[in-house]
Amino acid sequence: MATATAGTGAGVFGALLQRTIGLKLLMAVTGLIWVGFVAQHMVANLQVFMPMPADGVHPLNRYAAALQSLGGLLWVARIFLLVVFVAHVYAAIRLTQLNRAARPVDYRVRTTQVSTFSSSYMRVSGFALLFFVLYHLAHFTFGAVDQAAYARTLPGGMHDVYGMVIVGFRNPIAAGTYIVANVFLALHLHHAVSSIFQTLGLRTPRYAPLIDKLGPAVGLAVGAGNIAMPLAILLGLVGQGVS
């Protein structure tokens, strides 16, 4: 019977991916990276709530410019996140195939006792997030949705990200899409974050109660933070000065 083989890093990695636990680990590690990115992304974007300083260059624009100045490194980060994302989706698809095959004849009645709503719909929320990420990239990274807003610049030639965001979210359809997507994100994280600890073997009895609260907490915080931005802009509470 097959067992994992010793040897190179690639050998270990390949052997890991032959096992459902290995795929779950891939899912957990890639998920964790994205949780980190999403949280960082949200915190940075919350700068949109900061008042416009006297010099007329909004902190969000400074931040965006700083990111752009990273140049090649930015692309390294983007490609890394993309690869991680693809790996996450791959693990999800592969596990779904295996899991479907594990029960070819379903029950007439299956009653769950402790499953959370979020855990039962990970595939749905995951798919929704996949489409949202594509939309989001098209919207703000590649400017495919609203080219005029994307092309905004400040007098000094600096890219006006702040203005782009404000204008973008004044569109109720765009803002609504973001709000709905972040409900899915909150749901996804609600199960995912605690689940990562279990998969990585860190959910020990002593810390289990805490870890089980962490997922819902992170989901709620990230969801609420991300929803606050389009909502506030749509309601005209932020960015009144932008025309």
Sites of contact with other proteins (CB under 8 A)? 1-7, 11-12, 15-16, 18-25, 95, 98-99, 101-116, 119-120, 191, 194-195, 197-205, 208
Minimum CB separation from other proteins for residue 193, in Å? 11
Minimum CB separation from other proteins for residue 118, in Å? 10
Minimum CB separation from other proteins for residue 122, in Å? 8
Minimum CB distance to other proteins smaller for 177 or for 194: 194
**Cα separation values, 233 from 68, 108, 168, 229, 237, Å:** 25, 48, 9, 6, 6
Minimum CB distance to other proteins smaller for 102 or for 148: 102
Minimum CB separation from other proteins for residue 29, in Å? 10
Minimum CB distance to other proteins smaller for 12 or for 154: 12
| Counts of helices then strands in the chain (DSSP H, E) | 10, 0
Whose structure tokens read 């855990």?
119
Q: How far is CA 238 from the centre of its chain?
A: 24
How would you class 20 by CB atoms within 10 Å of its CB: exposed for 0-12, middle for 13-18, buried for 19 or more?
middle
Written as six digits, the tokens of 173 are 């359809």
Distance in angstroms (rounded) separating the CA atoms of residues 133 and 40: 16
Minimum CB separation from other proteins for residue 202, in Å? 7
Minimum CB separation from other proteins for residue 34, in Å? 17
Minimum CB distance to other proteins smaller for 194 or for 226: 194
Minimum CB distance to other proteins smaller for 6 or for 54: 6
State the virtual CA torsion across 226, 216, 122, 96 in degrees, nearest 10.
130
**Cα separation values, 198 from 35, 195, 202, Å:** 16, 5, 6
Minimum CB distance to other proteins smaller for 5 or for 68: 5
DSSP for 25-65 reads HHHHHHHHHHHHHHHHHHHHHGGGGSPPPTTS--HHHHHHH
